[in-house]
Structure 1
Amino acid sequence: MTQSKIKIYFLGTSGSTFTGRDFPPCIYVEGFLFDCPAQCPQKLAERGLLGSLHTVLLTHLHMDHSLGIYDLAWHLGTVMSERRLRLYLPADGRETVSQGFKVLGGALSGKLLGFFEIIEVGDGFVDNGIKAVATQHSVPAVGYRLDIGDVSICYTGDTAPSEKVIEAFSGCSVLIHDSTYPPGYEELAVRDGHSTPRQAAEVARLAKAQLLVLVHLPYARLGDRVGEEFLRTAKEIFPKVVVPEPGYVLELGGASWR
């Protein structure tokens, strides 16, 4: 598939809220972090990945995708770190995050916010191997394409099926796609700014992705076994699909993935 050696850590994979064994998407690759729910900083530390983190890519500011940035900054302050992380977020999100730090950090808000270099992004934004694309969700949201050597990792965040996503993520090595609603709920998924596994697989097929990974599954509502149904449904449309367990590591290297 590729000659690069890349590991993608799926620390959290659940949709919208935590369960006893999982929490919302938190995906680490080569110092980059896609989304940062509340549980994410501790899990990064547990896996020995926190020290190498340099960039956080937030798809949107719903709490299940962003609350961890406040705890992350609090941790950096507590350990007296001198690090400064790049924080990418949707356009006009800076003020929302700043207000969040004022509410949660009080007099320390300025210091806490200072741990981040905030970069607002919109549709078509490109910077150092990162490309943003507007997605279809209930609030302003973007997906990200991250190119590392000859590997392209594409993450939608929460979104309904999107022609823009298909175009921006064309030919990607790995497509990590929202799969919040079960098969048969396609219309409701679109109205809510989400996708089903069937819709995610169709996006992967049209984008000519090499591998599809389904995340943001409704484990809290439907139970852990829902992953089997989602995997089976997606494979009816697109053959190479993974539904990762929390903590799963996808290794890209040589001529295969595993």
Structure 2
Amino acid sequence: MSFRVTFLGTGGAVPTTERAPSALVVNREGDRLLFDCGEGTQRQMMRFGTGFSVSHVFLTHLHGDHVLGLPGLVQTWDFNDRTEPLSIHCPPNTRTHVKSLLRAGGHDPDFPIRINEVSPGNVAFRAEEYEVRVFRTNHRTRAQGYALIEDDRPGKFNREKAEEELGIPPGPAYGRLHEGEAVELDDGRVIHPEQVVGVPRPGRRFVYTGDTRPVDETVEIAENADLLVHDATFASEYADRARETAHSTAREAARIADRAGAKRLALVHISSRYAGDPSPIEREAQSIFGDAFVPDDGTRIEIPYPDA
């Protein structure tokens, strides 16, 4: 089952020719979820071929470099005769500001838009096989991060044991057992799932912080994450500036990933100081966490299952 992350904007507050402001798309088996929507996001979506059929937008906070692309994107959807509803998830007490932002362009879309205020510790969106949870971050305004966490999958089905040891004939019974249902055989025996199905297997976990200082809540929710996308605006030479502006350095992001036991760390919100050469950010993080990298705009990451 596919799980792809496309980085649309990896730059900081000031866009450059190399890096657009914050935005990324997650495509999980056809479900397209947009996280933040900086200036020019719709053009980046066209440029990098993510498709426009986004059903949910998750805003970490309402600073302009994370939301100014939203009015134009909504207007384009309306011009394209969109009828499907859109859900915009945002921090508490920001609904009015989001509504004002959407109206700023003087356009009232014909498709329904639901603005969902959601607090850290809650679930913003629940789908059939995954959910998007909200966690606390630390920035200069109301801010939060999001984690897409898949449900556990059934354990592996032991076909050899089922067929040879228990004498279960191949057929629908195998599927029922794998889905957790006991079955009765023709000879009257009842076979329970735990006799032929292994322990549940973990799903995948994607964590996106938005702008933040390093916080313990990220460590907790990013435990064993397949991909952690973390603010790394500065290298440590600007550590004081990072504290003043409530951002993280590459070293701080790497320490968070290391503490969480994440598998990979993507460093984003790169200051325009490093637009032409982000290697200082990458080297600093890799000195602590080897699987850290700075994605370019347009970078695509496929997230496999942990046991693949």
- Normalising by structure 2, what TM-score? 0.75
CA RMSD of aligned residues (A): 1.9
- One of 269, 275, 284 as aligned partner of 1:216: 269
Q: Greater relative contact order (Cα 8 A, min sep 6): structure 1 or 2?
A: 1
Q: Partner residue of 2:137?
A: 135
Q: For 1:79 and 1:223, locate their aligned partners in 2 and report how far apart those are by CA, in whole Å.
A: 34
Q: CA deviation at 1:59?
A: 0.4
Select the structure that is richer in helix. Answer: 1
Structure 1 residue 185 and structure 2 residue 238: aligned?
A: yes
Structure 1 residue 195 and structure 2 residue 248: aligned?
A: yes
- Determine helix, strand or coil for the equivalent of 1:147: strand
Asked if the contact 2:286/2:292 (under 8 Å) is kept, the reply is yes
Asked if the contact 2:234/2:281 (under 8 Å) is kept, the reply is no
Q: CA deviation at 1:115?
A: 4.1
Higher alpha-carbon Rg: 2
Structure 1 residue 232 and structure 2 residue 283: aligned?
A: yes
Letter paired with 2:105: L
Q: CA deviation at 1:176?
A: 0.2
- Determine helix, strand or coil for the equivalent of 1:50: coil
Aligned residues: 248
Q: CA deviation at 1:51?
A: 3.2
Asked if the contact 1:161/1:190 (under 8 Å) is kept, the reply is no
Q: Partner residue of 1:83?
A: 84
Q: Partner residue of 1:244?
A: 295
- Determine helix, strand or coil for the equivalent of 1:171: coil
- One of 4, 13, 16 as aligned partner of 2:13: 16
Q: CA deviation at 1:69?
A: 1.2
Q: Partner residue of 2:209?
A: 156
Asked if the contact 2:42/2:73 (under 8 Å) is kept, the reply is yes
Letter paired with 2:205: S
Q: CA deviation at 1:228?
A: 0.8
CA offsets, 1:78-106, max 9 Å, x none?
A: 2222122211111111100112233322x
Asked if the contact 2:9/2:24 (under 8 Å) is kept, the reply is yes
- Determine helix, strand or coil for the equivalent of 2:235: coil
Asked if the contact 1:76/1:115 (under 8 Å) is kept, the reply is no
- Normalising by structure 1, what TM-score? 0.89
Asked if the contact 2:204/2:305 (under 8 Å) is kept, the reply is no
Q: CA deviation at 1:254?
A: 6.1
Asked if the contact 1:7/1:29 (under 8 Å) is kept, the reply is yes
Q: For 2:307 and 2:233, locate their aligned partners in 1 and report how far apart those are by CA, in whole Å.
A: 28
Letter paired with 1:224: G
Q: Partner residue of 2:147?
A: 145
Q: For 2:251 and 2:301, locate their aligned partners in 1 and report how far apart those are by CA, in whole Å.
A: 22
Q: Gaps (5+ residues) in structure 1? A: none
- Determine helix, strand or coil for the equivalent of 1:230: helix
Letter paired with 2:49: G
Identity score, percent? 31
Structure 1 residue 7 and structure 2 residue 4: aligned?
A: yes
- Determine helix, strand or coil for the equivalent of 1:27: strand
Asked if the contact 1:41/1:50 (under 8 Å) is kept, the reply is no
- One of 2, 22, 45 as aligned partner of 1:25: 22
Q: Partner residue of 2:195?
A: none
Measured at CA, do residues 255 and 167 of structure 1 come closer, stay the same or move farther in structure 2, by a change above 3 Å? closer
Q: CA deviation at 1:167?
A: 1.5
Asked if the contact 2:18/2:275 (under 8 Å) is kept, the reply is no
Q: CA deviation at 1:48?
A: 3.5
